[in-house]
Structure 1
Amino acid sequence: MAFVELLADPHVWASFLALSAMEIVLGIDNVVFISVMVSRLPKEQQVAARRIGLLLAFVFRVIMLSFITWFIHMTMPIFSIGEYSFSWRDLVLLAGGLFLLMKGTREIHEGIEGDDQGTGAGPVTGSMTAAVLQIAVIDLVFSVDSIITAVGMADHIEVMIAAVVVAIAVMYLASGPVAGFIERHPTTKMLALSFLLLIGAALVADAFHFHIPRGYIYFAMAFSAGVELINVLASRKPRKANAPKVRRKSQPKD
């Protein structure tokens, strides 16, 4: 189908809008992970790391779309263990889920135990190379679900790439505010890390063909984020009742 015909087809526009919305929703996981990872870097490196991470997310998705015929075969079983059959997609999701569980657990442990305290190498002295490599790994995992969704919702690769571009643009706009909010409110970092554990568990479950509807996961994330936002707003209120009152000394009369 010619490009002009694609633009004139209302079904193409409908699939583009639906796929763009779905890709944006699926990108929430990516934004949370990137925001957590860049929070450990010095401020002068955080913007660059976010840009590199989102660029990698875009590149991985476009490369997979370019080899879409081969990519579809990633869902075909390659071996079985007992009653479970595993495809390349299952193995990627399993590895990514375990990585998120390991990374989330380690970050929570360091945040609570304070392993970095007193060493002069606090959480803002992480390696940019290590952060980018970890972002690249999880970008690859999230790209798998993203492209499988694209294949199921659109018939034209041009529509898929356009939807991916829109999703990455929204992720880019959202990643800065999300990372800034996490940096300004340290308690939200623990919440973000718990989201990573939740997403990691969902990916492992998917690898074993036990699908947890993403709507349940995103609702839980939205509800928790809403409660945390209320806590943040409530903590900003001046606590005049607890503030000590200073009494003025009476001036002596002449």
Structure 2
Amino acid sequence: MMDWITSPEAWAALVTLTAMEIILGIDNVVFISLVVQRLPPAQALRARQVGLSAALGLRIALLFALSWLIGLQQDLFTAFGHAFSWRDIILIAGGGFLIAKATHEMHGALEGEDESEEAGSPATYVQRAFMAVVVQVILLDLVFSVDSILTAIGMAEHLAIMVMAVIIAVSIMFVASGPLSTFIAAHPTTKMLALAFLVLIGVTLVADGFGAHISKGYIYAAMAFSVMVEMLNVSASGRRRRRIAARQAGEGR
């Protein structure tokens, strides 16, 4: 049962599968980092813990239900010349939710939000916002979990390898989500870029659900290029602020 431990092929499969799970988890990390922005630091940390714990639990549960999961790929009905399965429906619903959520956040960032209209005490508002964040994260966890586990099937022969890969990947996602959330909060322009990423990911999920597969390599390459450009912009902006501060300090002497 555990003879795979001495197999170099099994360890190679573990490394490959872990790397793939981390790459597929980028979408999840970006979403979690964005939705916790409205929460106080302590609540944001707790929301990330609950959300990623749910992601870990969902992924492991799906691994132990492989036969049911594979059944999600069986055709249910045909429309517009395409046979739809439960997997397609989940991807379309999840992609549509991502597009709607990111568009709503973009509208709020551009138009401004009047928090005074929120009913109830600040504590009630924080609790309600926390529950909303957790529910949204769990719903998207389900979509991303189904997608990543279906992709992982066939890459490893042993269930233990797949479970270990998921645990390692989710642990890395948790470590990365904190600094990413802090960075987005400190640099507002990156929030709009991250929201644009979510719209792109949502469109990709919907397209995949309708049978138009878009290689995620293209998506991640575009995201990486945009991030590099934004890093240059953030660096230039920081140097500009330091020069202005130094000039003002010199004039004040």
TM-score w.r.t. length of structure 1: 0.91
Structure 2 gap segments, 5+ residues each: none
State whether residues 110 and 116 of structure 1, in contact with CA within 8 Å, keep that contact through their aligned partners in structure 2: no
In structure 2, the partner of 1:96 is: 94
Q: CA deviation at 1:239?
A: 2.5
Q: CA deviation at 1:230?
A: 1.2
SS of equivalent residue, structure 1 residue 80: strand
Q: CA deviation at 1:117?
A: 5.9
Residues 233 and 117 of structure 1, relative CA distance in 2, 3 Å threshold: farther
Q: CA deviation at 1:150?
A: 1.5
2:134 maps to amino acid: V
Which one is further off, 162-171 or 236-245?
236-245
CA RMSD of aligned residues (A): 2.0
In structure 2, the partner of 1:203 is: 205
Q: Matches of residues 231-242 of structure 1 in structure 2 within 5 Å?
A: 231-237=233-239, 238-240=242-244
SS of equivalent residue, structure 1 residue 41: coil
Which one is further off, 28-37 or 113-122?
113-122
2:189 maps to amino acid: T
Q: Matches of residues 49-60 of structure 1 in structure 2 within 5 Å?
A: 49-60=47-58
Residues 1:246 and 2:246 are matched in the alignment: no
Normalized per residue, the structure richer in helix is 2
Q: CA deviation at 1:235?
A: 1.2
In structure 1, the partner of 2:145 is: 143
2:223 maps to amino acid: M
Percent identity of paired positions between Structure 1 and Structure 2: 49
Structure 2 residue corresponding to 1:81, chosen from 61, 67, 79: 79
2:243 maps to amino acid: R
Query: Whole-Å Cα distance in 1 between the matches of residues 197 and 251 of structure 2?
Result: 45
SS of equivalent residue, structure 1 residue 127: helix
SS of equivalent residue, structure 1 residue 47: helix
Greater Rg, structure 1 or structure 2? 1
TM-score w.r.t. length of structure 2: 0.91
Residues 236 and 151 of structure 1, relative CA distance in 2, 3 Å threshold: same
User: What is the aligned residue count?
Assistant: 245
